[in-house]
Amino acid sequence: MSITIKDVKHVAILSRLGLNDDELQKYEKELNDVLNFMEKLNELDTQGVEPTSHVLDIHNVFRSDVVEKSLDLEDVLANAPDRDDDCFKVPSIL
Partner 1 sequence: MGKIRELHNQLINKEISAVELAKEYLARLEYTNPKLGTYLSLSGEKGLDDALVIDKKIASGEDIGLLAGIPMGIKDNISTKGIITTCGSKILENYKPVFNATVVDKLYEAGGIILGKCNMDEFAMGSSSENSAYKLVRNPWDFSRVPGGSSGGSAATVAAEEVVFSLGSDTGGSIRQPAGFCGVAGMKPTYGRVSRYGLIAYASSLDQIGPIAKSVEDCAIVHDIISGYDKMDSTSANMPSTKSLDNIGKDIRGLRIGVPKEYFGGDEKVLNTLKKALAKFEELGAIVEETTLPHTEYALPAYYIIASAEASSNLARFDGVRYGARDWDQKDVTDMMSATRDKYFGKEVKKRIMIGTYALSAGYYDAYYLKALKVRTLLKRDFDEAFKKFDVLITPIAPTLPFKIGENIKDSITMYLGDICTVTINLVGIPGIAIPCGFVDGLPVGMQILGKPFSEELLFNVAHKFEQSNDFHLRKPEVK
Residues lying near partner 1 in the complex (CB under 8 A): 1, 3, 7-8, 10-12, 14-19, 23, 27, 30-31, 33-35, 37-44, 46, 49-56, 58, 61, 63, 71-72, 75-76, 78-82, 88, 90-93
Nearer to partner 1, 58 or 67 (CB): 58
Task: Tell me which residue of 6, 60, 8 sits closest to 30, measured CA to CA.
Answer: 8
Helix, strand, or coil (residue 88): strand
Cα 44 to Cα 48, 49, 55, 85, distances in angstroms: 12, 11, 21, 56
Contact 24, 8 (CB under 8 A): yes
Nearer to partner 1, 65 or 92 (CB): 92
Q: Considering the complex, what minimum distance in angstroms separates the CB of residue 65 from partner 1?
A: 15
Q: Considering the complex, what minimum distance in angstroms separates the CB of residue 84 from partner 1?
A: 12
